[in-house]
Structure 1
Amino acid sequence: MNEEELRKRLEALKIEHRDLDAAIDALATANSADQLQIARLKKRKLKLKDQIALVEDYLIPDIIA
């Protein structure tokens, strides 16, 4: 993947992460909160966070001091 594709992928991951956060909040405030579904969404959100960090590491070069 080139840098432009990585930036697009990063933006898509961040959008999905925000959407999952909103979905988790909505389910948590609902009267019939499904704890299993919330747990699954949180797990997916953590995976996305890891993927975001990985893509950011590719985009931001390490600077050795």
Structure 2
Amino acid sequence: MQNAHMSALELKHAGLDARISEENQRPNPDMATITRLKKEKLKIKEAILGL
């Protein structure tokens, strides 16, 4: 069960990473969105490390 949860978190983490990259590629990146995504990504990373 814990492996499935960890896999789900890792997928979500990778998805956020992709969204951050996409936002950075835009001609006029929204820094508020990038900051929010990075905070969300950090929370997920902390959850993964806590498992």
- Structure 1 and Structure 2 fold alike (TM over 0.5): yes
Structure number, greater radius of gyration: 1
RMSD: 0.6
Partner of 1:36: 32
Partner of 1:11: 7
> Segments of 4+ in structure 1 off by > 4 A?
none
Which sections of structure 2, spanning at least 5 residues, go unmatched? Answer: none
| % identity of equivalent residues | 35
Which sections of structure 1, spanning at least 5 residues, go unmatched? Answer: 56-65
More helix by share: 2
Please give the TM-score of this superposition, normalised by the length of structure 2: 0.95
